[in-house]
Chains A and B, each alone.
Chain A
Amino acid sequence: MAIAGTIFGRLLKAALTLLAIAVLNFFLIHAAPGDPAVVLAGEAGAADEQMIADLRAQFGLDQPLYVQLYRYVGNILTLDLGYSFRQGAPVLDLILERLPATLILTLTAFWISLLAGVALGVAASARVGKFTDSLITGTALLFYATPLYWAALMAVLVFSVQLGWLPGFGYETVGSGYGGFDRAIDILKHLILPALTLGLFFMAVYMRMTRASMLEVAQQDFVKTARAKGLAPSVIRRRHILRNALLPVVTLAGLQAGQLVGGAVLTETVFAWPGIGRLMFESLAARDYNTILGVFLVSALMVIIFNIITDIVYRLIDPRIGQKA
């Protein structure tokens, strides 16, 4: 009941937040210099006033800004994200076309980083001060400090160019004619490098947070009580310490999950991964207003959804949360 009530309240707030975000985005994007007509005309390498005026009229940019805003808000209230004149397709189609690739990449990276990060954090905390701990912490620090862009290029140079083990870029083998299982394996091969590159940073963060949190909780009185009761150390670690230590990790995971849609621009660019981050970046450069606003809106939606999910997970891990004092 409590959970259902919370969800309803959150959804209501979420809808209002989304609307506010949409309006804010609208003004931000219109404040940037240039417009899609100028960019399109610029790319043509030749343009006259007629061309630019024709394009503006076609895109509806010849209308006053408040009319454009009114139309835009009206559209999103009817769940219509508009039409990309640049790409000649409805924005929703463009986003849906790119969404699977991005979700495959970011979800894989998310789970790799979360599971490996927590596991390594637990392992390091269990052997605190010993060699294993130093090794894990040291490696994590390296991952944490390495710029994503550089790590990605190095991974390509080593595993793709030098060793030839894995494809260096792309989503799948182009023109291979693979179907079904073969295709899945092929995509998986292409997925390994970008997912690892994207996941390593967060893995390091989860590892450090889990370790610190585990050590902190281990000092608390209820753990001493458990130990005094004569429980086995592994049981104490799993049922008493880890469960309590996970809360800050969940908070962070919620934040990372919010970026599942738009947070992989760099990785997608280096690995030529046909995801939504690139769609966002390229649309921004081209001032493709409708597309960029659409991607922003979907990203904002994801952030809100994952915030709600995070709250629910809190309660599952620690039932005390949310109960009235």
Chain B
Amino acid sequence: MKHLKLTTFLVAAMLATGAAAQEDGGRLDLIVQPEPPSLMLGLVQNGPTQMVSGQIYEGLLRYNTDLEPQPSLAKSWEIAEDGMTYTFHLNEGVTWHDGEPFSSADVVFTTKFLQDNHPRFRAAFSHVESVEAPDANTVVIKMKEPYGPFINAFEAGSMPIVPAHIYEGTDYATNEMNATPIGTGPYKFVEWSKGSFIHLTKNPDYYIDGLPHIDDLYYRVVPDAASRAVAFETGEVSVLPGGAVENWDVKRLTEMDGVCSTSAGWEFFAPHAWMWLNNREGPTSDKRFRQAVMFALDREFVKDVVWNGFGKVPTGPVSSKTNFYSDDVPQYPHDPDKAKELLAEMGYDGTPVRVLPLPYGETWQRWAEAVKQNLEEVGIKVDIDSADVAGWNEKTANWDYDMAFTYLYQYGDPALGVARNYTADQIKKGSPWNNVEGYENPELDKKWAAAAIEPDNAKRQELYTEIQQQIVEDVPVAWLLEIEFPTIYRCNVKNLITTGIGLNDGLRDAWIEQ
């Protein structure tokens, strides 16, 4: 806690002085881990791609750390009172990195492009009736029904605007320009030396005067976590994005002189970790067993020890950072006796459960071991299953597990990032990003559907509160942690994190004190 307060203070101090004198120039070296497969953000949306390409491509909007929409390619926007029409007014004089002018036609084209390539966009735009461009700087989106979270679907990762003049009429996946991405963003692509680094440079024609400040960005590829820590220690890189080093190195690095850290910049994603409990078969199909698991887990311990005190123990399916969160739900404190009672009541026969950790490094392995220990304390037999990333995807997508670790982003709104894990229409074998646990509750399905299209926010809150109360009672999954990934950086890098997606679009405003 002490550490967090200090961090908050540093961030506040940084923002206070930051406004005074911003300096131009310099170069910034950051870690990107793992190396992205491609930088064409419209085609590939994995984490590392978003982090690098968020400087190259832009969305219509950005979101601050309170998740309020901010101008980006759109300088202003209006939502009709009935929630059926969204009008975006685009910035004028915007050009693509190759000099071609940007216009509303690109936005209209983008909605077609992403329809074929971006599952999250596809889901959000399934509520859209039409997208039109009445003039070169205006885009009008007409809805089929009011859809509350829609205004949260316009940042660079959710809807990166792609150039029509390059992609229209071509086979998107094999377009040669994918190797040299062209966007409207504050930095331009220069070079990608595979296995070593990605070099971006300042866009001198950027449409906001005076931005960006930094001349060159180098995203460095360093595959070993210990070597990444060394790279930061020796000053070779100045920014370690969240999750770039193992948790036990975080303390040592942040205590070095001239090093700052912040957990801001993840509000939009609000990574939420849990274990899917297989609701279909085995002991985990019994609600009492699942509740016993919640009482058996010492989640505060894991937060303090495995995650060095970063993060927050969640109360249920919705992160406290996400809109429409409610803490008015049943509570599950660490209570082994209660867990044993529930197990006795259901007559648990000692059938072992298979726990599948997430193959993302040591931290997750240790987490699985902590869970095993907690569960064995109350008499549940546990076998730790293991798999590499492909194996994990295969097992979870095909429901071959009893308890499986995962974490998912929430994208600011329960309808965007939470509902997909709990509604019955999302029970689809073959993908690990839906209702993998097999939870079915027709009553709640109706409420999820109603909440998504409810134009009145107070009524939405009411519906989401009821949903949260019921789901927390049913424990379809065991919620473990609202993850916080601290970004570690040299304190002379200023204004680094100003939005709810942090480093993914933050370099526009960052500057370096020489």
B77 at the interface (CB under 8 A from A): no
In the complex, the answer to whether B122 meets A169 with C-beta atoms within 8 Å is no
Cα–Cα distance between A286 and B359 once the two chains are bound (Å): 13
B22 at the interface (CB under 8 A from A): no
Cα–Cα distance between A48 and B197 once the two chains are bound (Å): 32
Q: Which residues of A contact B34 (CB under 8 A)?
A: 282
In the complex, the answer to whether A87 meets B218 with C-beta atoms within 8 Å is no
Proximity bits, A76-113, B CB within 8 Å = 1, else 0: 00000000011111000010011001000000000000
Interface residues of B in 394-431 (CB under 8 A from A): 394-395, 397, 408-409, 420, 428, 430-431
In the complex, the answer to whether B45 meets A45 with C-beta atoms within 8 Å is yes
Cα–Cα distance between A161 and B256 once the two chains are bound (Å): 14
Q: Which residues of A contact B37 (CB under 8 A)?
A: 40, 43, 86-88, 286
Residue in contact with A43 in the complex, picked from B47, B178, B394, B428, CB distance below 8 Å = B47
Q: Report the stretch among B67-75, B220-228, B313-321 that lies at the interface.
A: B220-228
Q: Which residues of A contact B434 (CB under 8 A)?
A: 48
In the complex, the answer to whether B197 meets A169 with C-beta atoms within 8 Å is no
Proximity bits, B22-42, A CB within 8 Å = 1, else 0: 000001010000110110100
A168 at the interface (CB under 8 A from B): yes
In the complex, the answer to whether A48 meets B119 with C-beta atoms within 8 Å is yes
A160 at the interface (CB under 8 A from B): yes
Proximity bits, B171-203, A CB within 8 Å = 1, else 0: 001100011000000000000011111010000
Q: Which residues of B contact A161 (CB under 8 A)?
A: 230, 233-234
In the complex, the answer to whether A272 meets B224 with C-beta atoms within 8 Å is yes
Chain A's nearest CB lies how many Å from the CB of B482?
16
A263 at the interface (CB under 8 A from B): no
Interface residues of A in 133-192 (CB under 8 A from B): 153, 156-157, 160-161, 164, 167-171, 174-175
Cα–Cα distance between A42 and B394 once the two chains are bound (Å): 10
In the complex, the answer to whether A278 meets B223 with C-beta atoms within 8 Å is yes
In the complex, the answer to whether A44 meets B27 with C-beta atoms within 8 Å is no
In the complex, the answer to whether B389 meets A169 with C-beta atoms within 8 Å is no
Q: Which residues of B contact A268 (CB under 8 A)?
A: 223
Interface residues of B in 337-393 (CB under 8 A from A): 387-393
In the complex, the answer to whether B195 meets A275 with C-beta atoms within 8 Å is yes
Q: Which residues of B contact A41 (CB under 8 A)?
A: 119, 393, 431-433
B450 at the interface (CB under 8 A from A): no
Q: Which residues of B contact A167 (CB under 8 A)?
A: 236
Interface residues of A in 37-63 (CB under 8 A from B): 38-52, 54, 58
In the complex, the answer to whether B218 meets A174 with C-beta atoms within 8 Å is yes
Cα–Cα distance between A33 and B35 once the two chains are bound (Å): 22
Interface residues of A in 10-60 (CB under 8 A from B): 32-35, 38-52, 54, 58
Least CB separation from B173: chain A residue:
A58
In the complex, the answer to whether A34 meets B223 with C-beta atoms within 8 Å is no
In the complex, the answer to whether A174 meets B194 with C-beta atoms within 8 Å is no
Given contacts A161-B234, A174-B29, A270-B224, contact A88 B195 (CB under 8 A): no
Least CB separation from A48: chain B residue:
B119
Proximity bits, B327-343, A CB within 8 Å = 1, else 0: 00000000000000000
In the complex, the answer to whether A169 meets B390 with C-beta atoms within 8 Å is no
Given contacts A33-B391, A49-B431, contact A88 B35 (CB under 8 A): no
Given contacts A45-B46, A48-B119, A285-B390, contact A88 B231 (CB under 8 A): no
In the complex, the answer to whether A272 meets B119 with C-beta atoms within 8 Å is no
Cα–Cα distance between A41 and B45 once the two chains are bound (Å): 9
Chain A's nearest CB lies how many Å from the CB of B89?
29
Residue in contact with B46 in the complex, picked from A43, A279, A282, CB distance below 8 Å = A43
In the complex, the answer to whether A168 meets B390 with C-beta atoms within 8 Å is no
Cα–Cα distance between A271 and B195 once the two chains are bound (Å): 11
Least CB separation from A101: chain B residue:
B195
B491 at the interface (CB under 8 A from A): no
Q: Which residues of A contact B395 (CB under 8 A)?
A: 33
Least CB separation from A97: chain B residue:
B194
B166 at the interface (CB under 8 A from A): no
Residue in contact with A171 in the complex, picked from B179, B196, B430, CB distance below 8 Å = B196
In the complex, the answer to whether B409 meets A45 with C-beta atoms within 8 Å is yes
Least CB separation from B223: chain A residue:
A269
Cα–Cα distance between A87 and B170 once the two chains are bound (Å): 19
In the complex, the answer to whether B195 meets A174 with C-beta atoms within 8 Å is no
Q: Which residues of A contact B226 (CB under 8 A)?
A: 153, 270
Residues of B within 8 A of A (CB): 27, 29, 34-35, 37-38, 40, 44-47, 116, 119-120, 122-123, 173-174, 178-179, 193-197, 199, 216, 218, 220-224, 226-227, 230-231, 233-234, 236, 387-395, 397, 408-409, 420, 428, 430-434
- Which 5 interchain pairs have the tightest Cβ spacing? A274-B195, A34-B390, A43-B46, A34-B394, A42-B393
